[in-house]
Amino acid sequence: MSPKLLFILLVLSLLRPALSGAAPESGRQEGSYLLGPNDRITVRCINAEEFPADPIRIDSDGQVTLPFIGRIKLAGLSVTEAEKQIGTELSKYVLRPQVELNVVESHSEPVSVFGAVNNPGAYQLEGQKTLTEILSMAGGLRKDAGRSLKVTRRVEWGPLPLPSAVKDPTGKFSVAEVDIDAFVRGDTPAANIQILPYDVISVPPAELVYVVGQVRKPGGFTMTGREGMTVLQALSMAEGLDKTAAPKKARILRRSNDSSRSELAVNLEKILAGSTPDMTLQADDVLFVPNSAAKSAGVKTLDAMIQLTTGIVIYGRY
């Protein structure tokens, strides 16, 4: 190799950071961006003039067409990995190829949102987006959204800037929870963090209790507050007893580990009178209020009632 060519290579290597565009955003490590469909890139080979100077687009199948090589898949590779892959293929035709790949426009920065949102799926950042903006893109929270949401981030982006952030057991992800109630009320503005590529936002559905039978508004109700829900609170959300109710014969059906349900007798008349302490319900409990003239119903019958009368109607907080 001539001294002149060596000098040119040295100059290009020094100028490379400037030629590659703006510095990565805060929290991202250089070279961690993965190429994807619709990204526009430039590919240069110093000792192969056949490479075009104009940007080329990565197709929807993740491939591009390059001189000598033909079709090659770049989606899913980092910039450094893509340069090595192109160089390996190009070395079959060019002696010691010097490949330089730059991202001109990035259109593959997916963020996944799933769980209790109206439109779960993968969304492209296309610029800087906050947690609230991403949730809005996903159609907002459903009425049955739980008490907290979880954000998962690749460790190469750095730890999540939230007090609850911890590493997962594999050490590859930073995971943090955000209290939804406080977040919606605006009590925790610092939780509205900037979302980075490949973040995963999961919103688990709320824990429910069911009130069925002789009440004015049977249905499933989200458990509000971390202290749980009591029988009186559930009965209040069901708008009270119906005229035909038998409050002395009410029962709580509680699911066991084997998926069967055990029964707990509840005298609503005494609880309403204040002569018996209120009872705390657990997630998935069913408060059944029978008809005063009805015979005791079996567990299977009650499960059928849940599906028929409350399976569709769920009353939420938002």
Count other Cβ atoms within 10 Å, centred on residue 157. Answer: 20
What is the pLDDT at residue 294?
52
What is the pLDDT at residue 306?
56
- Mean pLDDT on 250-274: 89
- Mean pLDDT on 236-256: 92
Count other Cβ atoms within 10 Å, centred on residue 73. Answer: 15
Of 266, 268, 275, which is closest to residue 247 (Cα–Cα)? Answer: 268
Query: Considering the chain, what is the average pLDDT of its residues?
Result: 82
Q: Which tokens hold the place of 245?
A: 């109710």
Least confident of 74-78, 97-101, 183-187: 74-78
Q: Give the span between the Cα atoms of 298 and 305, in whole angstroms.
A: 11
- Mean pLDDT on 269-285: 92
- Mean pLDDT on 216-243: 87
> Does domain 3-105 bear CATH number 2.60.40.10?
no
pLDDT at 295 over 50: no
Least confident of 6-20, 137-151, 194-208, 296-310: 6-20
Q: In which residue are the tokens 């293929």 written?
A: 89
Greatest CA span in the chain, whole angstroms? 103
Class of 208-315 in CATH: alpha beta
Say which DSSP state 118 is in.
S
Name the segment(s) of the chain with CATH classification 3.30.1950.10. 3-105
- Mean pLDDT on 251-260: 84
300 vs 161 pLDDT, higher one:
161
- In this structure, the chain runs to a length of 318
Name the segment(s) of the chain with CATH classification 3.10.560.10. 110-203, 208-315
- Name the helix (H) or strand (E) containing 201: strand 200-203
Of 115, 139, 135, 134, which is closest to residue 124 (Cα–Cα)? Answer: 134
155 vs 318 pLDDT, higher one:
155
Least confident of 59-68, 193-202, 219-228: 219-228
- Mean pLDDT on 278-300: 77
What is the pLDDT at residue 143?
83
70-77's contacts with Cβ under 8 Å and 24+ in sequence apart are 74/35, 74/41, 75/34, 75/35, 75/36, 75/37, 75/108, 76/34, 76/35, 76/36, 77/34, 77/35
Phi (first) and psi of residue 100, to 5 degrees: -130, 125
Q: In which residue are the tokens 């567990």 written?
A: 299
| Residues 89, 109 contacting (CB under 8 angstroms) | no
Percent of the chain with pLDDT over 90: 51
Sign for the pseudo-dihedral over CA of 266, 269, 275, 281: positive
126 vs 270 pLDDT, higher one:
270
pTM above 0.75, yes or no: no
| Residues 231, 266 contacting (CB under 8 angstroms) | yes
pLDDT at 236 over 90: yes
CATH of 110-203, one of 3.40.50.1390, 1.10.3470.10, 3.10.560.10, 3.40.50.1970: 3.10.560.10
Highest mean pLDDT: which range of 26-35, 99-108, 210-219: 210-219
